């Protein structure tokens, strides 16, 4: 069975040293509750829960899968008991508003726990995963009665939430949905339609499931402007707030998937189910985005967690597995062969995993700070800046971290060689589980269009400038440092080029809008590599300062510097290819007609 040790030392480095979370928390209203002692206790107990409770269920849950009988779904053995421990431990309420039973701690702390959950049992983590987003959507857009009915139950984890968006025929184009909501005499609506790919749509872990469903009213305008949002519970709450009458919503089937077998991915059928309008009519997509943006950050964390899990197990295997001798002579002469970690190509794979895990962690925790400020900051200008950065970074977190997370899990299989292809080692499960992260909550292509089209070009690059100015100021402040020159100089060049590439795409798009779509994915990947380079440069600065101060943990800081150096020398050069493809334009992509795609295999 794969093992996992929560990376508490690296987490503390990023949180306490690099990003100064103690000072960050001290500036937030109520942040004094997140004292260093409290944070340490949460990290340590979260590490224990995920490693001792969730990790042992990961492979067994994958093998067993979910069972659908008579519209009821049973999760794999042990999942329900683990969920009960999760609720009893107060984990669902960690960052929720105390008004609704939450603990009121910063969102960033909950995101740290999410990484550990994703690394140990992604399929299990998806059961409570959308409940936070459902609660946020109801908190921001629900009526007072809806908040009173659902929020405390969702916050406590007694009920779980889902997000019911797409349908068999429409994929990402939600303007095509056919689900209808017809008004009832009592103010509710009869919701009828079929939704697919619903994570945790039906299960036996919680006593009720709260579905947030996109549907169209009878007089709705065509397209996405006619979408409304409804809350549709599995069991209609009684006057005392307990689950009552069964609603007209049932799981029609379970999807047979490549991965995440332990999670129930459902086809949900709504047959005149009683639903209650959330927010204004025909504004459902805007209301749902409150939930979708939280989910996108959560999926990015999934990529991070799986990368870390794969790296740790690949590293342990590479230290133990004997094969051949090092090219410059035996490194373990007392053994019949050397451990494969001595071989350069194995080190390349391991360092790639390590760099993406550590860089991804910095990106998530940097973005988490922005989320904390948006939710709790008192200074209006600081909140506005944080909101701009959060909007810019969310598609990068979601898409870049899932792309490189999938790469990292593939490298993990490669380190194991043939054993990586065998189920008992658990490495192939990480690949299968990681593959979905590039798809759901908006594919990489959708995130790329959001980044380049909406977040950058739509406001003439002003949101991007907020971030690139920050990078520029860092480079200016450190340009005299000979110790950081190997990182700061290339970062400054790429930061300037980022703006130039953006302007180039924008100019081309004025003549041909296809240029945005043609450049978008390479643009997002370029942005991801440069963003990680900035964070790695900051990490190098912190490590240098710790070593200069005579830290008694010098090995950790030297390893951090070596990882930063590997990233700059072996991964950051990928920006050259992405820049070339961005500049290549749409011509070669759009030249071939749809009919000509098939030339060469006609009968």
CB contact at 8 A, 436 and 199: no
CA distances from 377 to 24, 36, 166, 327 (A): 10, 20, 34, 56
Q: Left (φ > 0), alpha (ψ -120 to 50) or beta: where does 78 sit?
A: left
Structure tokens at 260: 């995440």
User: Which residues fall within 8 angstroms of residue 373, CB to CB, at 6 or more apart?
Assistant: 28, 382, 383, 386
Q: Which residues pair with 251 in a beta bridge?
A: 268
CB contact at 8 A, 341 and 318: yes
Please tell me whether residue 541 adopts helix, strand or coil conformation. helix
The span from the CA of 558 to the CA of 381, in Å, is 38
Could you say which of 167, 441, 478, 515 is catalytic? 441
Active site residue 334: no
155 CB neighbour count, 10 Å cutoff = 25
Helices (H) and strands (E) in the chain, counts: 20, 11
The span from the CA of 178 to the CA of 191, in Å, is 11
Residue among 6, 10, 21 at smallest CA distance from 305 = 6
The span from the CA of 83 to the CA of 351, in Å, is 35
Helix (H) or strand (E) holding 242: none
The span from the CA of 150 to the CA of 169, in Å, is 31
Q: Is 269 exposed, middle or buried (0-12, 13-18, 19+ CB in 10 A)?
A: middle
Catalytic residues: 441
């Amino acid at each position: 069975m794969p093992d996992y040790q929560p990376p508490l030392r690296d987490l503390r480095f990023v949180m306490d040293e690099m990003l100064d979370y103690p000072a960050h928390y001290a500036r937030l209203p109520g942040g004094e509750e997140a004292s260093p002692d409290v944070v340490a206790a949460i990290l340590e107990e979260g590490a224990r829960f995920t490693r001792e409770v969730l990790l042992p269920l990961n492979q067994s849950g994958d093998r067993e899968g979910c069972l659908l009988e008579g519209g009821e779904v049973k999760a794999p053995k042990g999942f329900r008991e683990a969920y009960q421990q999760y609720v009893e431990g107060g984990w669902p309420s960690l960052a929720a508003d105390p008004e609704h039973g939450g603990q009121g701690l910063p969102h960033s702390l909950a995101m740290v726990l999410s990484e550990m959950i994703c690394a140990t049992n992604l399929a299990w983590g998806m059961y409570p995963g959308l409940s936070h987003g459902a609660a946020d959507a109801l908190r921001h857009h629900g009526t007072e009665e809806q908040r009173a009915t659902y929020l405390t139950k969702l916050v406590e984890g007694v009920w779980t939430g889902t997000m019911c968006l797409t349908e068999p025929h429409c994929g990402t184009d939600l303007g095509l949905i056919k689900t209808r909501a017809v008004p009832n005499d009592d103010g509710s609506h009869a919701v009828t339609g079929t939704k697919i790919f619903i994570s945790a749509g039906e299960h036996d872990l919680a006593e009720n499931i709260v579905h947030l469903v996109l549907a169209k009213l009878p007089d709705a305008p065509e397209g996405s402007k006619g979408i409304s949002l409804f809350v549709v519970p599995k069991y209609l709450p009684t006057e005392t707030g307990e689950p009552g009458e069964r609603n007209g919503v049932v799981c029609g089937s379970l999807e047979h998937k490549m991965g995440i077998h332990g999670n129930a991915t459902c086809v949900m059928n709504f047959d005149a189910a009683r639903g209650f309008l959330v927010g204004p009519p025909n504004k459902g997509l805007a209301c749902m985005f409150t939930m979708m943006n939280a989910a996108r950050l959560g999926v990015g964390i999934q990529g991070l967690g799986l990368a870390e899990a794969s790296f740790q197990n690949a590293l342990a295997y590479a230290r133990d597995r004997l094969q051949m001798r090092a090219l410059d002579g035996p490194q373990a002469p007392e053994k019949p062969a050397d451990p494969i970690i001595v071989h350069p190509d194995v080190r390349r794979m391991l360092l790639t995993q390590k760099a993406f895990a550590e860089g991804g962690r910095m990106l998530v925790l940097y973005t988490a700070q922005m989320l904390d400020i948006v939710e709790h900051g008192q200074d209006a200008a600081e909140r506005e800046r944080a909101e701009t950065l959060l909007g810019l970074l969310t598609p990068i977190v979601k898409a870049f971290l899932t792309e490189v997370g999938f790469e990292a899990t593939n490298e993990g299989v490669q380190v194991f060689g043939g054993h990586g292809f065998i189920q008992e080692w658990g490495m192939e499960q990480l690949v299968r589980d990681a593959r979905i992260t590039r798809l759901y909550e908006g594919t990489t292509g959708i995130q790329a269009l959001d980044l380049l089209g909406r977040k950058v070009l739509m406001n003439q690059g002003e949101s991007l400038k907020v971030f690139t100015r920050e990078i520029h100021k860092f480079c200016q402040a450190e340009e005299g440092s000979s110790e950081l020159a190997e990182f700061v100089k290339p970062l400054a060049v790429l930061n300037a080029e980022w703006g130039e590439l953006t302007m180039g795409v924008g100019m081309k798009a004025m003549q041909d809008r296809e240029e945005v779509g043609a450049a978008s994915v390479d643009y997002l990947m370029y942005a991801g590599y440069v963003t990680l380079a900035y964070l790695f440069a900051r990490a190098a600065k912190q490590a240098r300062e710790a070593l200069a101060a005579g830290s008694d943990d010098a090995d950790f800081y030297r390893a951090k510097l070596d990882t930063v150096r590997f990233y700059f020398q072996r991964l950051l050069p990928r920006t050259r290819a992405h820049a070339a493809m961005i500049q290549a334009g749409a011509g070669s992509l759009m030249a071939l007609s749809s009919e000509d795609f098939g030339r060469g295999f006609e009968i």
